[in-house]
Amino acid sequence: MKKRQVVSLALAGAMALSVTACGGGQGTDTKAPAADSGKNEAAADSGKSDSGKPVPIRWLTTGDAAAKVIKEDDRIVAAINEKLGIDLKVEIVPENNTEKVNVAMASGDFPDVVTGAYGTSATQQWIDDGMVIPLTPYMDKLPNIKAWLDDYQWTAVNGDYYGIPFITQYQAANTLLMMRKDWLDKLGLSYPKTLDEMKTVLTAFTNDDPDGNGKNDTYGFSSEKPSSTNGQTPFDWVFFAYGLPHGDYSLDADDQVIPIFEDPSFIPAMHYIKDLWDSGVVDPELMLNDIPKKEEKFYQGKIGAMPATVYRHINRHENSLKELFPDGELCYDMPPAGPDGALGMSRQGKNGFLTCVTTACKNQDKAAEFVDFMISEEGNHLLRYGIEGIHYTKEGDKIVYNMEERAKDAFSDNGWAHALAWGSFYWPLESGFMPDTEVGKERALASVEVASKCQVPNLVKQKTPAEVQDGSAVNDIFIQYFSDMLQGKIGIEEGTAKLSEAWRSQGGEEILKEANDVYHATK
C-alpha cells in the first residue's frame, strides 16, 4: 500500500455473490481518464447524454442478503432512470461479502459507481492509487452530497472526500441486556439498576430454580464470544459501569491516547467479571458461543439474561421464547450502573460502507448526480415507499401500501423498503425507519431510543490506517489475555501488564501514534 493517509474506513465480512442486472447499460472502459468536472453539464441539463441517449451507469454495490432480487422490469429502477436520464445497471453483492467488490476492483473491472467496505486496506488503496475521484468539486452543485458530507467531515483525506460514507450504528444503537421477566417475577426481583443488583439477579437465575422444574440446570448470563474485528467483549457493560469513558481508547494523565485496558477502570471491572465467572452464574460455554447459539440457549430456558439486539428483533425474540414457554416474558432496559453511577452498553460504530465514483467512469458528473439522488429526501422516499398511486396511496398523512404491486418489484415484505435502500446508504435503524405495518412499531422505536442513550462514543471517530492494518491482530492479543484472566490462567494484575506489553509491541504502538495524532488534530 502507498504512503498511509489518516482516513475513516469500516468493515464487512463474507457471504455469497448475487448479481442482478437492471436496465441495458453496458460497463465502462476501465482505462477511461478522469472526466472534466463540467464536460457533461449540458447533457445533465437535458437529462440525457450528448447523443440524446440515456447515460449508462453501472453500480457495483454490497446490498443486503435479506433484500429482494431486482428484476429487469423493476419500476423503481425505471423511475430513477427517467428522473436522471440514465440507464442503470446494478450488480449486487450481498452484505458482508465485500471481498467480491475488492476482487473486481483489483482486476481492473471498474464500474462507474462502487460501494465497498469503508474500513479495509483494499478500500484505502482505491484512494491511494487514484481509482476513485474526489467528490469535493461536486458539492456546490449537488446539495445532498454536501449536506451528507458535512456530517462526516472527519472522513476527508487531505481535504477531499472520496466517497459517501455510511457508518453503521454511528448515532444509533440497538443492543440492550435482555432478561426473562417471568423469572424475575417468580423470584420477586426487579430488573437490576446497579452492578450489585445485577449479581443478585444472576445468582438467583442460576441457583434458585427460576423455571420451577426442580433441577439445577440454568445460568444467569450468557453471550457470544468476543469479536476480533473490534475487540468487543460480552462484558463491555461492566467496563463502562466502572467508568471507561470511550468505546475505542482512553486517555492518560498527559492527555495521550492509551488502550482501554490501561484505563483505571479495567482492573476493577475485570475483578467483577471474574467474580461472576467464579460464582458459576455465567454460561461456561460463553467463549465458544456464536450469536445463534446464545439466542438458542435463551429461548430454551437455559439462561436468564443476554445482550441482545432489539428494534426489529424484539418480536423474533419474544415469539421464539414463547414457542417453548407460552407464559415466558422478556424485558430489557438500561444496563446496570457502577459504583459512581457510570453506565454504557454498546460502542459507537466505526464500520460501514463507502460509495465512490470511479476514475474510469466516462460520465462522472452524471454518476455523482445519481449518488446525490440516492441520498436525497426524494430518492429515500422513492426507495422506502415506491411510486404513489402504484406502490402506495395516501389517506391524509397515512401511507396505505399496495402489497400486490410492491411484490412485483424488489420491495421487501410487510412494507419494508426496496432492495436499493438496503446496505449502501441506509439501514432502517440508522434512519429511524419502520413501516406502520410492523407489529409493535412504537415499542421497537422506543427500544432504539433506550439503546442509543447508553451507546458509548468513540474518542477517535475514524479508523486510522494502522488500525485498519493491524487492528484485528492486536484485538486477538487482547481477547487471548481477557480469556486467560477470566479463566484464572493468569492473575488480573499480571495479565493486564503482560497484555499491555504484548499489545503495544505487536502493532499497538503504531495504532496509538496515529490515533493520538488524529485526536490532537481534531480535539
3-state helix, strand, coil split of the chain in percent (to 5) is 40, 15, 45
Give me the pLDDT at residue 96, please. 61
Q: How far is the C-alpha of 346 from the C-alpha of 232, rounded, in Å?
A: 9
On the CB side of 25, how many CA atoms lie within 13 Å of its CA? 31
The strand ranges marked E within 247-322 are 249-251, 257-259, 303-309
Give me the pLDDT at residue 47, please. 56
Report in angstroms the alpha-carbon separations of 72 from 27, 61, 87.
Answer: 16, 17, 12
Give me the pLDDT at residue 117, please. 86
Helices 492-503 & 465-486 angle (0-180, nearest 10): 160
Q: How far is the C-alpha of 46 from the C-alpha of 37, rounded, in Å?
A: 17
- Identify which of 418, 326, 356 has the alpha carbon closest to the alpha carbon of residue 9: 356
Q: How far is the C-alpha of 68 from the C-alpha of 91, rounded, in Å?
A: 13
Q: Residue-wise pLDDT tens for the chain (523 aa)?
A: 333 333 333 323 332 333 333 443 333 333 333 333 333 333 334 456 666 799 999 999 987 777 888 999 999 999 999 999 999 999 988 666 788 888 888 888 899 999 998 877 788 889 989 999 999 999 999 999 999 999 888 888 888 999 999 998 988 999 999 999 999 999 999 999 999 999 999 999 999 999 999 999 999 999 999 987 778 899 999 999 999 999 999 999 999 999 999 999 999 999 999 999 999 999 999 999 999 999 999 999 999 999 999 998 999 999 999 999 999 999 999 999 999 999 999 999 988 899 999 999 999 999 999 999 999 999 999 999 999 999 999 999 889 999 999 999 999 998 999 999 988 888 888 878 889 888 889 999 999 999 999 999 999 998 888 998 899 999 999 999 999 999 999 999 999 999 999 999 999 999 999 999 999 988 8
- Identify which of 278, 274, 313 has the alpha carbon closest to the alpha carbon of residue 294: 313
Strand partners, 166: 353
Give me the pLDDT at residue 473, please. 94
Give me the pLDDT at residue 17, please. 34
Residue 423's CB: how many other CB atoms inside 10 A?
A: 26
| 248 within 8 A of 457, measured Cβ to Cβ | no
Give me the pLDDT at residue 397, please. 85
Give me the pLDDT at residue 154, please. 86
Give me the pLDDT at residue 103, please. 85
Q: How far is the C-alpha of 494 from the C-alpha of 485, rounded, in Å?
A: 9
